[in-house]
Chains A and B, each alone.
Chain A
């Protein structure tokens, strides 16, 4: 806890850090490097080239599925933030009725295998005669996403002083005014973080989407997955690199936004 413990990291510790992070990042880096490979054989270096990137823009199917993924992620992220935000508030309020049932239901999807959640949802959609497509993927992703949002919001609520809200109510603010002026600004960073988490989970998911989708709706991960099953191609490397870049940009934006919101809340 004090100064002596800080200086403990010897050369062995530095080696472990370097090796550990190399293990984590080398595979990701290899994808990026080999996306600039001129050779059609991914694993044989044939010189530097950008040729695989323009080819992506002509791939109509890929662009369509990327657009579909974005729409699904935005819709399900928004829905997950709304439902998960409410759930997080309810979880943080001690003694309200139905709280323990809600807690159990919020934790359960987090530990269930996606294949099981997906299969169960699909069976429900079939039993109800719902046509599968965009909407059913959004429902599936929102259901998983809201559980993550609820955890993030509930954790944020724990650090916040309930007397602030009560003071506002004592001063004559109605419950909705108190919520808008006190609670909402305080949980805003958690809502943003939760939305980004739900958005990312949706963009990344292939298992739930495959179970929940119909013939008309193919998301980007579904498209990439079916190509990966056939083997490695330079196009997959190029798409992957673009996805990694947008994920990095999104994470950077999230960090900046979180910092702004945190300063704003003070």
Chain B
């Protein structure tokens, strides 16, 4: 092999590496980072009637001096608006409340199921995992639609209850926050089951057996040994449900009532109905903050755990 061949090969190799990292990086810069910057820019603009319905407040194409000048004219109007307007406070609190309640409900259903899965005979487990994940591969919309059918005033649940004579007047469930909580917990249940199952499956069973040998009851052995060891899985599951739940648009729209107000829905409404793009952008920035806080907390907790380990 001549030196020239080796050089050509090194160059080809380097080119391949550059391409592997450069192409996806460029794509994400163009279609994820740039849009986020445009969104931030518009959130600092003033809403006007027209097309597009905002007045840009700074423009990088006009040079650096012009940019500095425009910084002075930067508008916090839309942030002032969304902070003063009760609607956004409601939306923020609504998002956090619905996300919190549905996360709790999902964990309450997922934990016993994951526990039973982890104790099932080994030969069943691949099938059980497949059964738990399969709904994720079916349509999200369809799974939410099922709950409209079930929870409506003249829906399947109320008909069943009336037929069994348990109830005279229908339960008012549809178009309430409760319906949204059920819908979100149901839709994101697979995300809660898997991390809990993994945490339970991976733990050293001899620890529980040791506790039993030392005289602990089954419940006590679970509560003081197996449960604490599964907590990292519970946190991961909680995060995987809480985060998408915060920004959920479709479920509150289909299952919630007019008083169920969440940030995702506020963005949607500001954008499509009110055509207030700066307010929608500011609401999106607010939503991002609501999501970043638990993420950073989780990151910190994990770091601490790694340090202590």
- Check if A and B associate: yes
A-B contact pairs, 23 of them (CB 8 A): A7-B121, A14-B116, A17-B113, A20-B113, A20-B116, A27-B146, A30-B146, A30-B149, A89-B20, A90-B17, A98-B25, A102-B24, A105-B25, A113-B244, A119-B280, A123-B38, A174-B12, A175-B9, A175-B16, A224-B141, A228-B148, A232-B152, A243-B142
The chain A residues found within 8 Å of chain B, CB to CB, are 1-2, 4-9, 13-14, 16-17, 20-21, 23-25, 27-28, 30-31, 34, 41-44, 83-84, 86-87, 89-90, 93, 96-99, 101-102, 105-106, 108-109, 111-117, 119-124, 126-127, 139-140, 142-143, 146, 150, 172, 174-176, 179, 200, 203-204, 206-207, 211, 221, 224-225, 228-229, 231-232, 236-237, 240, 243-244, 247-248, 250-251
Residues B24 and A176 in contact, CB atoms below 8 Å apart: no
Residues A6 and B140 in contact, CB atoms below 8 Å apart: no
Please give, as numbers and ranges, the residues of chain B lying within 8 Å of A31 by CB-CB distance. 142, 145-146, 149
Question: Which of the residues A14, A114, A179, A206 comes within 8 Å of B16, measured between beta carbons?
Answer: A179
Please give, as numbers and ranges, the residues of chain B lying within 8 Å of A112 by CB-CB distance. 247, 288, 291
| Most chain B beta carbons < 10 A, residue from A41, A97, A225 | A225
Residues A17 and B146 in contact, CB atoms below 8 Å apart: no
Residues B264 and A6 in contact, CB atoms below 8 Å apart: no
Residues B280 and A13 in contact, CB atoms below 8 Å apart: no
Residues B204 and A1 in contact, CB atoms below 8 Å apart: yes
Q: How far is the CB of B168 from chain A (nearest CB, A)?
A: 18
Please give, as numbers and ranges, the residues of chain A lying within 8 Å of B253 by CB-CB distance. 229
Residues A84 and B249 in contact, CB atoms below 8 Å apart: no
Give the secondary structure class of B's interface: helix
**At the interface, yes or no: B29 with Cβ under 8 Å from chain A?**
yes
**At the interface, yes or no: B35 with Cβ under 8 Å from chain A?**
yes
Residues A83 and B27 in contact, CB atoms below 8 Å apart: yes
Please give, as numbers and ranges, the residues of chain B lying within 8 Å of A5 by CB-CB distance. 119, 205
Give the secondary structure class of A's interface: helix
Question: Which of the residues A4, A99, A121, A179 comes within 8 Å of B35, measured between beta carbons?
Answer: A121
Please give, as numbers and ranges, the residues of chain B lying within 8 Å of A119 by CB-CB distance. 39, 267, 271, 280-281, 284
Q: How far is the CB of A33 from chain B (nearest CB, A)?
A: 10
Known: A13-B116, A116-B284, A240-B145. A176 touches B247 (CB 8 A): no
Please give, as numbers and ranges, the residues of chain B lying within 8 Å of A231 by CB-CB distance. 148
**At the interface, yes or no: B112 with Cβ under 8 Å from chain A?**
yes
Please give, as numbers and ranges, the residues of chain B lying within 8 Å of A105 by CB-CB distance. 25, 28-29, 32-33
**CA of A224 to CA of B152, assembled, Å:** 18
- Closest residue on chain A to residue B53 by CB atoms: A126
Known: A6-B122, A16-B116, A120-B39. A30 touches B131 (CB 8 A): no
Known: A43-B159, A179-B16. A20 touches B109 (CB 8 A): yes
**At the interface, yes or no: B225 with Cβ under 8 Å from chain A?**
no
Q: How far is the CB of A107 from chain B (nearest CB, A)?
A: 10
Known: A127-B38, A175-B12. A30 touches B156 (CB 8 A): yes
**At the interface, yes or no: B211 with Cβ under 8 Å from chain A?**
no
- Closest residue on chain B to residue A34 by CB atoms: B149
Known: A17-B128, A113-B244, A176-B12. A90 touches B20 (CB 8 A): yes
Residues B143 and A9 in contact, CB atoms below 8 Å apart: no
**At the interface, yes or no: B94 with Cβ under 8 Å from chain A?**
no
Question: Which of the residues B52, B280, B295 comes within 8 Å of A126, measured between beta carbons?
Answer: B52
Please give, as numbers and ranges, the residues of chain A lying within 8 Å of B295 by CB-CB distance. 111
Please give, as numbers and ranges, the residues of chain A lying within 8 Å of B81 by CB-CB distance. none
Residues A117 and B32 in contact, CB atoms below 8 Å apart: yes
**At the interface, yes or no: B250 with Cβ under 8 Å from chain A?**
yes
Q: How far is the CB of A102 from chain B (nearest CB, A)?
A: 5
**At the interface, yes or no: B62 with Cβ under 8 Å from chain A?**
no
Please give, as numbers and ranges, the residues of chain B lying within 8 Å of A146 by CB-CB distance. 24, 27-28
**CA of A123 to CA of B282, assembled, Å:** 13
Residues B142 and A87 in contact, CB atoms below 8 Å apart: no
Residues A247 and B139 in contact, CB atoms below 8 Å apart: yes
Known: A106-B28, A111-B291, A176-B12. A120 touches B36 (CB 8 A): yes
**At the interface, yes or no: B74 with Cβ under 8 Å from chain A?**
no
**At the interface, yes or no: B246 with Cβ under 8 Å from chain A?**
yes
Known: A106-B28, A146-B27, A221-B141. A120 touches B149 (CB 8 A): no
